[in-house]
Amino acid sequence: MSNLTLVKALNAGLRRALESDPKVLLAGLDIGKLGGVFRVTEGLQKDFGEHRVMDSPLAESGIIGTAIGMAMRGYRPVCEIQFDGFVYPGYDQIVTQLAKLHARSKGLLKVPLVIRIPYGGGIGAVEHHSESPEAYFSHTPGLKVVTPSNANDAYWMIQQAVASDDPVIFLEPKRRYHDKAEVDLDGEPMPLHRAKVVREGTDVTVLAYGPMVKTCLDAAAAAAEEGTSLEVIDLRTLSPLDMGTVISSVERTGRVVVVHEAHLNLGMGAELAARITEQCFYGLEAPVLRVAGYDMPYPPSRVEEEYLPDLDRILDAVDRSLAY
Euclidean distance between CA atoms 15 and 18, whole angstroms:
5
Query: What size, in residues, is the chain?
Result: 324
* CA 78 vs CA 17, 162, 163, 210: distances in Å: 10, 7, 11, 20
Choosing from 51, 129, 139, 193, which is the catalytic residue?
Answer: 129
**Distances from the Cα of 98 to the Cα of 3, 92, 113, angstroms:** 36, 9, 8
Cβ pair 253, 204 in contact under 8 A = yes
Give the rounded distance of the alpha carbon of 305 from its chain centre.
21
Q: Give the chain's largest Cα–Cα span.
A: 60
| Annotation marks residue 129 as catalytic | yes
CA 205 from chain centre, in angstroms, equals 20
The number of CA neighbours under 13 Å toward the Cβ of 76 is 20
Residues recognised as catalytic: 129
